Amino acid sequence: MDRSEGHITEDGRKIGAVMMEMRNITLKFGGVVAIKDISFDIRQGEIRAIIGPNGAGKSSMLNVISGFYHPQEGEVWYNGSRRAPMRPYQVARQGIARTFQNIALFEGMTVLDNVMTGRLNFMKTNLFQQAFWRGKAEREEVHNREFVEKIIDFLEIQAIRKTPVSRLPYGLKKRVELARALAAEPHLLLLDEPMAGMNVEEKEDMSRFILNANDEFGTTIALIEHDMGVVMDLSDRVVVMDYGKKIGDGTPDEVRNNQAVIDAYLGVAHD
């Protein structure tokens, strides 16, 4: 199949042109080379996984995409333009949202208020305008609330919308984090270990929500995940990292049969 032209997946989803391209990225922390000359792309509409053993450099790569880390070498291309080094909030304004490995919610706030924070980039009126042009501010507020309620319904968390996040079990907190990220209407959604610490049932739910978000909103998704079953089921394409290098890139089947990948996961010595 010629992937340069995009294609329709077996389940009927459309994979389009390249949206993000990492070109020869190298990231160092002092003497530690976390990412070594890695290139790969993310296509519109796809679910792209980044996998690899512990310490492979996956989180570092997600942090480069989201603007938390700035690579010493290489280029990040987004929607056809080279991206200048920018702060995470600027990356967010470009339509890239993320969740974190360790949940990063406002624990004392309700689910609804946490999800509302995902709309911050859409709140254009400032305090002055809110005081003097109440109509505009109110319309904006109503629209943001409507969108947030839609996401809350979509992720089936209506029953806990007024509950403070601190009272929720872990699996539900992860779902609220996903809700907040989706509330930002991202073009590209980055998920850092969305299933970590979940039981089988919670993982099934999360997989369904990720697939539905991709399907319903057309959100492109890049995720890091350790659960191989989940990765192989969810992803259109998988990048495999080991010791900061890329050792595989392809469909789940291609990656599964890649000897370098099999060796890395079995812990075979390498040079």
Q: What six digits make up the tokens of 98?
A: 């993320």
Cα 270 → chain centroid: 30
Residue with smaller CB distance to ligand ATP, 32 or 200: 32
Q: Should residue 34 be labelled a site residue for ligand ATP when binding is judged by CB under 6 A?
A: yes
Tell which residue, 177, 173, 232, 180, has the closest CA to residue 198.
Answer: 173
User: How many angstroms separate the CA atoms of 244 and 140, rounded?
Assistant: 44
Footprint (CB under 6 A) of ligand ATP, residues 48-87: 52, 54-60
Region binding ligand ATP by CB under 6 A among candidate stretches 16-24, 26-34, 105-113, 163-171? 26-34
User: How many angstroms separate the CA atoms of 94 and 162, rounded?
Assistant: 30
- Helix segments in 16-68, DSSP class H: 58-65
Minimum distance from CB of 226 to ligand ATP (Å)?
A: 7
Say how many residues touch ligand ATP, by CB under 6 A: 11
Residue with smaller CB distance to ligand ATP, 56 or 183: 56
Minimum distance from CB of 60 to ligand ATP (Å)?
A: 3
Minimum distance from CB of 245 to ligand ATP (Å)?
A: 11
Q: What six digits make up the tokens of 122?
A: 């859409």
Look at the block and give the residue holding tokens 């079990």: 169
Q: Should residue 191 be labelled a site residue for ligand ATP when binding is judged by CB under 6 A?
A: no
Q: Should residue 126 be labelled a site residue for ligand ATP when binding is judged by CB under 6 A?
A: no
3-state secondary structure of 249: strand
Contacts with ligand ATP by CB under 6 A lie at 29, 32, 34, 52, 54-60
